[in-house]
Homo-oligomer: A and B are copies of this chain.
Amino acid sequence: MSRNPRTGASARGPRHTEPRELAGLLSAAAGDAARIAAIAPALRGHWLRTVADALEEHAEELTALADTETALGPDRLRGEVGRAAAQARFYGEVAAEGGWLDVRIDRAGPGGPADLRRMNRPLGPVAVFGASNFPFAFGVAGHDTASALAAGCPVLVKAHPAHPLLSARLGTLVSDALRAAGAPAGAFALVTGFDAGLALVDAPEVAAVAFTGSQTAGTALVERAARRPVPVPVFAEMGTVNPAVLTPAAAATAAGVTRAATGFVDSFTLGQGQFCTKPGLLLAPRGSGAAEAAAGALAGVRPGWLLTEGIAAAYRQGLADLVAAGARPVARAEAADGAFAAAPTVLTAPADALRPGSRLLEECFGPVALVVEYDGTPHLRDLLGRLQPSLAAAVASGGPADPDLPWLVEHLARQAGRVVVDGWPTGVATGWAQHHGGPWPATSRPDATSVGAAALDRFTRPVAFQNVPEAALPEALRDGDPWNLPRRVDGVRTGGRS
């Protein structure tokens, strides 16, 4: 069933994938996996460009459909279509560049060890569970799908129940684009329905699972996959509370406090606070007036609607739970009219309330954040030590010479996947140097990223070939180097594009 967050109106969703149909899709994926893996990465880049073109060509239609199911607004959604298209092209470029294959060649020495060549190979079919909050960037044609295809893995995407009609439309567009680009039929499939999703996690054909969403759902998938006769990796990006710190130097002037508080509020209310990188906690020097400044900034925020009835209910319950755990509302914006409306809210709490196990240390999905005051560096350090590890952490500093920056950056790097200075974590650029991950329980695999060039690495496994004649070697490892790859030969990096 499809729901409109503004009105609550229901529309009939696509029918669920039947077990027999699913078996056919899995069989096609497994059957084409070796062929897809053996194709030159640059050709898979062509597939992804064709997908990107299709997204852009249908941007207006997709934006309208997504707005009906998510209420995220046409501007944001139109931008996200473009972002998803750019991502797909980027992963295609990364595939073609070939560094992710990590080719290493140790040549035979006279009387020494045999010729040894190592590369990363695609794992096989990947099951993708996209997110509710980014229907394009982390959806059917989002980061996981594009990076898995780039790495040479067939993809089976579970349609998200928060936007089932959009998922179905995207599924058709992606399938058609891949077919037009010459990809095998098994390269991509969309499956619909809760049971079909569970069946994907259990299927022997599936070699890895990628997930973006809540800790509850992510942990359930991790545990389910561990019970398989042959376990497979689950790359679950779940998210916790991303902390932000206002340093004393940044808080030295009222203008500094206002600037930081405004940035904080803009960031935590972006997309109605439905970002896994939402800064959920601001630690500010006692007496800095950060909470009041945030309250002031909140007045300018336009309220909106949450993605689903469930998220709206959890948000209301979450606010009540935060208050029960010791938080106090400082400011509350107007709520929008309509079914899944939410009122953006700033809370404060005494530092003592940040105790291990407290609800204050857990994520509350939606436009709410907490401001807590600290008394000097040792206190701040102590408070940071109480937090769960997170995807991101931010510092609002007094500038590059801020004396607290070095220790804060180092401290935060130990408990977050990304440390941001004088910026906010909600913008996650897709590039070579991105890392969108973090220590458990922010993700189930702290070594993995779901955004950026290294996203391909999740879906590979190394294999070494010892004394294998040229004709029997994979193309990536041949002396002739037909794919023009960067390689490490006898330990020395060489080749590839310059």
Whether A454 lies near B463 (C-beta < 8 A) is: no
- Chain B contacts of A473 at CB under 8 A? 409
- Chain B contacts of A179 at CB under 8 A? none
Cα separation A223 to B465 with both chains bound (whole Å): 31
Tell me the smallest distance from the CB of A137 to a CB of chain B, in Å. 15
Whether B432 lies near A465 (C-beta < 8 A) is: no
Tell me if A270 counts as interface (CB < 8 A to partner B).
no
Residues of A53-86 whose CB lies within 8 A of B: none
Stretch from A6-14, A260-268, A292-300, A410-418 forming part of the interface with B: A410-418
* A406-B471, A492-B498 given; A419·B121 CB < 8 A: no
Closest B residue to A406 by CB, please name it.
B472
Tell me if A434 counts as interface (CB < 8 A to partner B).
yes
- Chain B contacts of A497 at CB under 8 A? 492
Copies of this chain present in the complex amount to: 2
Whether A491 lies near B432 (C-beta < 8 A) is: yes
- Chain B contacts of A233 at CB under 8 A? 447
* A400-B469, A418-B464, A464-B417 given; A114·B423 CB < 8 A: yes
- Chain B contacts of A249 at CB under 8 A? none
Whether A433 lies near B493 (C-beta < 8 A) is: no
* A447-B462, A461-B447 given; A468·B421 CB < 8 A: yes
Whether A432 lies near B467 (C-beta < 8 A) is: no
Whether B113 lies near A463 (C-beta < 8 A) is: no
- Chain B contacts of A102 at CB under 8 A? 454
What 1/0 mask marks residues of chain A from 439 to 471 whose CB sits below 8 Å from any chain B CB?
111000011010011100000111111111111
- Chain B contacts of A106 at CB under 8 A? 429, 431-434
A406, A470, A497 pick with most chain B CB within 10 angstroms: A406
What 1/0 mask marks residues of chain A from 70 to 114 whose CB sits below 8 Å from any chain B CB?
000000000000000000000000000101001011100000011
- Chain B contacts of A439 at CB under 8 A? 461
Whether A413 lies near B454 (C-beta < 8 A) is: no
Closest B residue to A113 by CB, please name it.
B429
Tell me if A488 counts as interface (CB < 8 A to partner B).
yes
Whether A419 lies near B118 (C-beta < 8 A) is: no
Tell me if A362 counts as interface (CB < 8 A to partner B).
no
- Chain B contacts of A461 at CB under 8 A? 439, 446-447
Cα separation A408 to B226 with both chains bound (whole Å): 31
- Chain B contacts of A117 at CB under 8 A? 433
Cα separation A466 to B242 with both chains bound (whole Å): 15
- Chain B contacts of A410 at CB under 8 A? 34, 472, 474
Cα separation A471 to B399 with both chains bound (whole Å): 11
Cα separation A230 to B439 with both chains bound (whole Å): 10
* A431-B116, A491-B97 given; A419·B454 CB < 8 A: no
Cα separation A420 to B419 with both chains bound (whole Å): 44
- A421: contacting residue among B97, B105, B429, B469, CB under 8 A: B469
Tell me if A490 counts as interface (CB < 8 A to partner B).
yes
Cα separation A497 to B433 with both chains bound (whole Å): 21
Tell me if A486 counts as interface (CB < 8 A to partner B).
yes
Whether A104 lies near B432 (C-beta < 8 A) is: yes
Tell me the smallest distance from the CB of A457 to a CB of chain B, in Å. 8
Whether A419 lies near B491 (C-beta < 8 A) is: no
Tell me the smallest distance from the CB of A104 to a CB of chain B, in Å. 4
Whether A464 lies near B496 (C-beta < 8 A) is: no
Tell me the smallest distance from the CB of A368 to a CB of chain B, in Å. 24
- Residues of A whose CB lies within 8 Å of any CB of B are 34, 97, 99, 102, 104-106, 113-114, 116-118, 121, 226, 230-231, 233, 400-401, 405-406, 408-410, 413-414, 416-423, 427, 429, 431-435, 437, 439-441, 446-447, 449, 452-454, 460-474, 486, 488, 490-493, 496-498
Chosen A-B contacts, 5 in total, with CB atoms closer than 8 Å, are A104-B453, A118-B454, A405-B471, A405-B472, A420-B467
Besides A419-B468, A447-B460, 11 other CB < 8 A contacts?
A34-B410, A106-B429, A116-B429, A116-B434, A409-B468, A419-B465, A420-B467, A421-B467, A432-B491, A434-B464, A493-B496
